[in-house]
Structure 1
Amino acid sequence: MCGIVGIFDPRGTRAFDRAALVRMNQTQFHRGPVEGDVYLEPGVGFGHRRLSIIDLAAGQQPLFNEDRSVVTVFNGEIYNFRELTKELTALGYKFATRSDTETIVHAWEEWGEDCVKHLRGMFAFAIWDRNKQTFFVARDHLGIKPLHYAFLPDGTFVFGSELKSLLSFPELPRVIEPRAVEEYFAYGYVPEPRTIFKDAFKLAPGYSLTLKVGANAQNVKPKRWWDVPFTPHAPMSEKQMEEELIVRLREAVESQLEAEVPLGAFLSGGVDSSAIVAMMAGLNKGPVNTCSIAFNDPAFDESTYARQVAEQYKTNHQCETVDKDDYGLVDLLAGLYDEPYADSSAIPTYRVCELARKRVTVALSGDGGDENFAGYRRHRMAMGEQQVRSMLPLALRKPVFGFLGKAYPKADWAPRIFRAKTTFEALARDLPDGYFHGVSILVDRVRDQLFSQGFRSQLQGYRAVEVMRGHAANAPTDDPLSIIQYIDMKTYLPGDILTKVDRASMAHALEVRVPLLDHKFVEWVSGLPSSSKLRNGEGKHIFKKALEPYLSDDILYRKKMGFSIPLASWLRGPLRESMKAAVLNPMLLDTGIFNAAFLQQMIDEHLAGTKDHSTALWAVLMFEAFLRKNGADSATSVASPLIATAA
Structure 2
Amino acid sequence: MCGITGFWNPSRTNERDLRFALDPMLDVLDHRGPDERGSRFYREEGVALGHTRLSIIGLDCGHQPIETKDGDYAVTVNGELYGYKKVRTQLACEQYVCDGKSDSAITLPMYLKDGLGFVEKLRGEFAIVLYDRREKRLILVRDRFGIKPLYYHASDSGLVWGSEVKSILKHPDVTPRLCPKATVHQMMQVMVPGSTAFENVHAIKPGHMLIATLRGDRLEIQTRRWWDMDFPQSHETGVDPAEYVQGVQDRLIDAVATRLEADVPVGCYLSGGIDSCSILGLATQLQQSPIKAFTIAFDSDEYDESNIARRMAERTGAEQELLRLTEKELYGPAFERATWHAERTFYNTLAVAKWHMSRRVRACNYKAVITGEGSDELFGGYAFFKRDWLGRDKGDAILAGAILAEEDQVHSAWEDLCGFTPSWIQPWMMVLDRLKPLLTSAMQDMLNTYDPVAEVAAAIDPSMVRGRNRLDISQYTWSKTMLEGQILTWGGDRMDMANSMEARPAFLDHHVAEYATTIPPDVRIRNGVEKWVLREAMVNVLPRELYERKKFAFMAPPAHTDPVKRAAVQEMIDHWLTKDRVAAVGLFNYEKLQTFVADAWNETDNTIARRNDILINHTLQIHMLHGQYVEGLPLPAVD
TM-score above 0.5, yes or no: yes
Identify the range of structure 1 (179-188 vs 31-40) with the bigger mean alpha-carbon deviation. 179-188
Identify the range of structure 1 (564-573 vs 44-53) with the bigger mean alpha-carbon deviation. 564-573
Shift of the alpha carbon at 1:192?
2.8
For the pair 1:520 / 2:504, whether they are aligned, the reply is: no
- 3-state SS of paired residue (2:514): helix
Structure 1, residues 114-168: CA drift from partner, whole Å, max 9, x if none?
111110011101111112221111000000000011024x422110100010111
For the pair 1:445 / 2:433, whether they are aligned, the reply is: yes
For the pair 1:494 / 2:457, whether they are aligned, the reply is: no
Separation of aligned partners in 2, 1:443 and 1:218: 41
- CA 1:49 to 1:585, structure 2 compared with 1: closer, same or farther past 3 Å? farther
CA contact (8 A) 1:432 1:472 kept: no
Give the partner amino acid of 2:557. I
Equivalent residue, structure 1, for 2:442: 454
Separation of aligned partners in 2, 1:485 and 1:51: 33
CA contact (8 A) 1:426 1:435 kept: no
CA contact (8 A) 1:582 1:621 kept: yes
Separation of aligned partners in 1, 2:167 and 2:430: 30
- 3-state SS of paired residue (2:141): strand
For the pair 1:567 / 2:559, whether they are aligned, the reply is: yes
Matching residue within 371, 374, 378 for 1:372: 378
Give the partner amino acid of 1:173. T
Identify the range of structure 1 (419-428 vs 615-624) with the bigger mean alpha-carbon deviation. 419-428
Structure 1: which 5+ runs fail to align? 388-411, 635-647
Equivalent residue, structure 2, for 1:253: 256
- CA 1:421 to 1:563, structure 2 compared with 1: closer, same or farther past 3 Å? closer
Give the partner amino acid of 1:90. C
Shift of the alpha carbon at 1:444?
3.6
CA contact (8 A) 1:11 1:214 kept: no
For the pair 1:423 / 2:407, whether they are aligned, the reply is: yes
Give the partner amino acid of 1:345. L
Equivalent residue, structure 1, for 2:636: none
Separation of aligned partners in 2, 1:138 and 1:363: 24
Consecutive aligned runs of 4 or more in structure 1 exceeding 6 Å deviation: 412-417
CA contact (8 A) 1:364 1:513 kept: yes
Separation of aligned partners in 1, 2:196 and 2:300: 36
Q: TM-score by structure 2 length?
A: 0.89
Shift of the alpha carbon at 1:504?
1.1
Structure 1 residues 627-638: aligned runs within 5 Å: 627-632=626-631
Structure 1 residues 360-399: aligned runs within 5 Å: 360-384=366-390
Give the partner amino acid of 2:480. K
Separation of aligned partners in 1, 2:87 and 2:216: 32
CA contact (8 A) 1:76 1:122 kept: yes
CA contact (8 A) 1:365 1:515 kept: yes
Separation of aligned partners in 2, 1:246 and 1:434: 29
| Cα-Cα RMSD | 2.7
Give the partner amino acid of 2:120. K
Shift of the alpha carbon at 1:376?
1.1
- CA 1:532 to 1:325, structure 2 compared with 1: closer, same or farther past 3 Å? farther
Give the partner amino acid of 2:72. S
Separation of aligned partners in 2, 1:305 and 1:586: 47
- CA 1:322 to 1:177, structure 2 compared with 1: closer, same or farther past 3 Å? closer
Separation of aligned partners in 2, 1:358 and 1:65: 37
Structure 1 residues 140-179: aligned runs within 5 Å: 140-152=143-155, 154-179=156-181
Structure 1, residues 8-42: CA drift from partner, whole Å, max 9, x if none?
13569565421221111111001010110111122
- CA 1:186 to 1:176, structure 2 compared with 1: closer, same or farther past 3 Å? same
Structure 1 residues 180-579: aligned runs within 5 Å: 180-187=182-189, 190-214=191-215, 220-231=221-232, 236-326=239-329, 327-328=331-332, 329-359=334-364, 360-384=366-390, 422-426=406-410, 430=415, 431=419, 433-435=421-423, 437-440=425-428, 442-459=430-447, 461-465=449-453, 466-471=455-460, 473-476=462-465, 478-500=468-490, 501-559=492-550, 560-568=552-560, 569=562, 572-579=566-573
Separation of aligned partners in 2, 1:624 and 1:529: 45
For the pair 1:37 / 2:43, whether they are aligned, the reply is: no
Identify the range of structure 1 (267-276 vs 234-243) with the bigger mean alpha-carbon deviation. 234-243
- 3-state SS of paired residue (1:213): strand
Shift of the alpha carbon at 1:445?
2.0
Equivalent residue, structure 1, for 2:602: 608
Separation of aligned partners in 1, 2:420 and 2:536: 30
- 3-state SS of paired residue (1:299): coil
Give the partner amino acid of 2:381. G
Separation of aligned partners in 1, 2:547 and 2:165: 39
- CA 1:216 to 1:620, structure 2 compared with 1: closer, same or farther past 3 Å? farther
Separation of aligned partners in 2, 1:416 and 1:506: 31
CA contact (8 A) 1:187 1:440 kept: yes
- CA 1:320 to 1:426, structure 2 compared with 1: closer, same or farther past 3 Å? same
CA contact (8 A) 1:533 1:542 kept: yes
- CA 1:158 to 1:577, structure 2 compared with 1: closer, same or farther past 3 Å? same
CA contact (8 A) 2:149 2:164 kept: yes
- CA 1:457 to 1:218, structure 2 compared with 1: closer, same or farther past 3 Å? farther
- 3-state SS of paired residue (1:573): helix
Structure 1, residues 160-200: CA drift from partner, whole Å, max 9, x if none?
10001011124213333232122111226x34311122211
CA contact (8 A) 2:79 2:124 kept: yes
Structure 1, residues 21-64: CA drift from partner, whole Å, max 9, x if none?
11111110010101101111222111110011111111100111
Separation of aligned partners in 1, 2:36 and 2:544: 46
- 3-state SS of paired residue (2:555): coil
Give the partner amino acid of 2:439. F
Shift of the alpha carbon at 1:5?
0.6
- 3-state SS of paired residue (1:255): helix
Aligned residue pairs total 607
Separation of aligned partners in 1, 2:229 and 2:603: 44
CA contact (8 A) 1:587 1:633 kept: no
Equivalent residue, structure 2, for 1:409: none
Shift of the alpha carbon at 1:294?
2.0
Shift of the alpha carbon at 1:290?
1.2
Structure 1 residues 1-150: aligned runs within 5 Å: 1-10=1-10, 15=15, 16-42=17-43, 43-150=46-153
- CA 1:95 to 1:456, structure 2 compared with 1: closer, same or farther past 3 Å? same
CA contact (8 A) 1:139 1:147 kept: yes
Give the partner amino acid of 1:296. D
Separation of aligned partners in 2, 1:139 and 1:198: 21
Separation of aligned partners in 1, 2:423 and 2:439: 22
- CA 1:191 to 1:432, structure 2 compared with 1: closer, same or farther past 3 Å? farther
- 3-state SS of paired residue (1:222): strand
Structure 1, residues 496-526: CA drift from partner, whole Å, max 9, x if none?
1110211111111111101100011101001
Separation of aligned partners in 1, 2:66 and 2:214: 21
Separation of aligned partners in 2, 1:587 and 1:247: 55
Separation of aligned partners in 2, 1:446 and 1:131: 55
Percent identity, aligned pairs only?
27
CA contact (8 A) 2:272 2:307 kept: yes
- CA 1:557 to 1:468, structure 2 compared with 1: closer, same or farther past 3 Å? farther
Structure 1, residues 467-509: CA drift from partner, whole Å, max 9, x if none?
1343262425521111111111111111111102111111111
Structure 1, residues 61-90: CA drift from partner, whole Å, max 9, x if none?
011123221111110000021222122112
Separation of aligned partners in 2, 1:622 and 1:160: 22
Shift of the alpha carbon at 1:439?
3.9
- CA 1:604 to 1:259, structure 2 compared with 1: closer, same or farther past 3 Å? same
CA contact (8 A) 1:373 1:543 kept: yes
Shift of the alpha carbon at 1:97?
1.3
